[in-house]
Amino acid sequence: MIFIGTMNLSRTRERGDFYCPDCESMQAYRLKAKRPWITLYFIPVVPIGKVEIVIRCDKCHSNWDESVLKVDADSHRELLEDQASYEIFRAVVLYLLSDGYMEENEIEPLREIASEVFGRDVDREELGRLCSSAEQSGIKVRNYVTSVLRYWNPEQQRLAIQSMFLAGSLRGELDSDRLELLMEIRQTAGLSDQGFRTLIEEGLQRSDQ
């Protein structure tokens, strides 16, 4: 009986130091080349498929694409901030759409909120794409905020609460469901009642400027 099978072989091609996004610090890495082989009696004889390059962190053992070698602390921090801004505004849109609709007179104020969140001007076309993406996700705002809030730093949490409050207040006073959600977020963020009131007052003052 002939025993034919396959196996993956890998070897270290080089070593060096890189910024590991998981460790958030400089760490040693190994660049490993992996490729499947056909085996005959458990001996690799014929290479098949393409060589896969993997960067492995020596500390946390996470694997990365080779492009991670181009990442440094500053670019990683910028990427995280961009991601947080996107998450915050998606939470704002889901919060506003929790009753199932958006009014025409809410679009311009929402665009101003988006510009504040992203730190740059957001035009109506981009706003439309962001809103459409959030709406089509089908995620309930409570579920979404619960899943992403823990990844935001305190300043991002404050911005999210302020922005959601402003968006929810576009039609006047917050309804009970929206107010309850804000209270849950306040508690998760570790804000006292006084801290929450101060935060909302700051948001209102900012919107009046």
The 3-class secondary structure across 44-79, one letter per residue, is: EEEECCCCEEEEEECCCCCEECHHHHHCCHHHHHHH
Q: In the Cβ-directed half-sphere of 139, how many Cα atoms lie within 13 Å?
A: 20
Best-predicted range by mean pLDDT among 8-12, 73-77, 84-88, 178-182? 84-88
pLDDT of 192 reads 84
Residue 181: pLDDT over 70: yes
Residue 50: pLDDT over 80: no
Task: Please name the amino acid found at residue 166.
Answer: L
**pLDDT over 70 percentage in the chain:** 91
- Ranges of each domain in the chain: 4-71, 74-208
Closest CA to 33 of 55, 17, 59, 49: 55
Residues 183-204: what's their mean pLDDT? 82
Q: Is the dihedral angle over the CA atoms 55, 59, 62, 68 positive or is it negative? A: negative
The tokens describing 149, both together, are 């809030």
Residue 209: pLDDT over 70: no
CATH code assigned to 74-208: 1.10.3680.10
pLDDT of 2 reads 64
70: left (phi over 0), alpha (psi -120 to 50) or beta: alpha
Residues 57-78: what's their mean pLDDT? 83
The tokens describing 109, both together, are 């104020």
Place of tokens 């759409």: 97
Give the pTM: 0.64
**What residues have CB less than 8 Å from 124, skipping those under 6 apart?**
107, 111
